[in-house]
């Protein structure tokens, strides 16, 4: 084969490889675009998450209070919680949605909590609500609104301080002049004061699960923001103390 044709062959192979690479990157880019488009659509169209438990809520709706029913409202911390194992004797209703921010809680509070007429609701808010530019007072308003709505409907609210993230998480999410941990501590102190002033039960998850630096203790951590089985047990013990004083249970 002449030198000329060798050059033509090499150029042709390089061109074909370039086409394949460009095609691969285009498909990869399309997948990324579709992924973020789906997240945007889910966030904008279904911020509330009201459709997630719609069918189950219809089966559980009640015109009268269920004496031993407790709704757990929260994120993946609640969603992954094996509630019957930790709360025997109670009719536990899991209303956790992975990744949901607290504004969505309030939007689905009526169908997921009020319409089910439990005796109590446990509210877990996650640390990823706190980012640079986030209004802490707005999050406080959401929590207070849920607590007051509960009381108005004769449902006992049991609010939880926010489980702190691990130090690795905070290092990744904190920015110059902003600390996730500082914001959480500000909110948690407000919540403790609010519950004390208003005579509401509160579970201090922050104090129960944090280490000496204020971060999620490694012995209680499943990942950077979620508790492991031991962490769930610590939380359950504290919640049970509150529930036992307000909820009628069967076989306890």
Are 77 and 110 in the same domain?
yes
Are 19 and 81 in the same domain?
no
Are 162 and 214 in the same domain?
yes
pLDDT of 96-139, one tens digit each? 999 999 999 999 999 999 999 999 999 999 998 988 878 999 99
Are 112 and 94 in the same domain?
yes
Q: 92: domain CATH number?
A: 3.40.50.1110
Residue of 175, 178, 206 whose CA lies nearest to 190 = 206
How far apart CA 86 and CA 88 sit, in angstroms, is 6
Q: Give the strands of the sheet with 202-203, arranged side by side.
A: 91-96, 66-74, 118-123, 156-160, 202-203
Structural contact between residues 123 and 158, judged by C-beta atoms closer than 8 angstroms:
yes
Structural contact between residues 173 and 131, judged by C-beta atoms closer than 8 angstroms:
yes
Between 17-26, 51-60, 156-165, 223-232, the lowest mean confidence (pLDDT) is in 17-26
Domain range spanning residue 219?
Answer: 54-243
Are 149 and 218 in the same domain?
yes
pTM: 0.80
Q: Is the pLDDT of residue 244 over 70?
A: yes
* 91: in domain: yes
* 251: in domain: no
The whole-number average pLDDT for the span 134-161 is 96
Are 92 and 185 in the same domain?
yes
Those residues with Cβ within 8 angstroms of residue 52's Cβ, 6 or more apart along the chain or in another chain? 97, 108
Are 25 and 104 in the same domain?
no
Domains identified in the chain, total number:
2
Structural contact between residues 108 and 50, judged by C-beta atoms closer than 8 angstroms:
yes
Q: Is the pLDDT of residue 250 over 50?
A: no
Are 104 and 181 in the same domain?
yes
Residue of 173, 241, 182 whose CA lies nearest to 213 = 182
How far apart CA 40 and CA 108 sit, in angstroms, is 19
């Amino acid at each position: 084969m002449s030198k000329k044709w060798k050059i033509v062959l090499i150029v042709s192979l390089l061109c074909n490889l370039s086409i394949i690479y460009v095609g691969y990157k285009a498909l990869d880019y399309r997948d990324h675009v579709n992924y973020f488009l789906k997240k945007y659509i889910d966030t904008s169209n279904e911020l509330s998450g009201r459709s997630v438990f719609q069918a189950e809520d219809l089966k559980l709706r009640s015109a009268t209070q269920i004496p031993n029913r407790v709704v757990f409202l929260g994120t993946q911390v609640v969603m992954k919680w094996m509630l019957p194992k930790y709360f025997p004797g109670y009719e536990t209703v899991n209303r956790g949605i992975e990744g949901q921010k607290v504004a969505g809680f309030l939007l689905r509070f009526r169908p997921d909590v009020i319409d089910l007429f439990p005796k109590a609701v446990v509210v877990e808010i996650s640390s990823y609500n706190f980012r640079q530019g986030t209004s802490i007072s707005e999050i406080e308003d959401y929590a207070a609104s849920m607590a007051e709505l509960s009381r108005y409907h004769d449902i006992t609210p049991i609010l939880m301080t926010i489980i702190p993230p691990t130090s690795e998480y905070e290092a990744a999410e904190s920015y110059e002049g902003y600390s996730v941990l500082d914001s959480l501590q500000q909110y948690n102190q407000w919540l403790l004061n609010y519950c004390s002033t208003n005579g509401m039960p509160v579970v201090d998850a922050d104090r129960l699960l944090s280490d000496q630096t204020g971060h999620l203790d490694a012995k209680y951590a499943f990942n950077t923001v979620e508790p492991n089985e031991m962490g769930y047990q610590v939380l359950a013990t504290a919640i049970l103390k509150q529930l036992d004083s307000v909820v009628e249970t069967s076989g306890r």
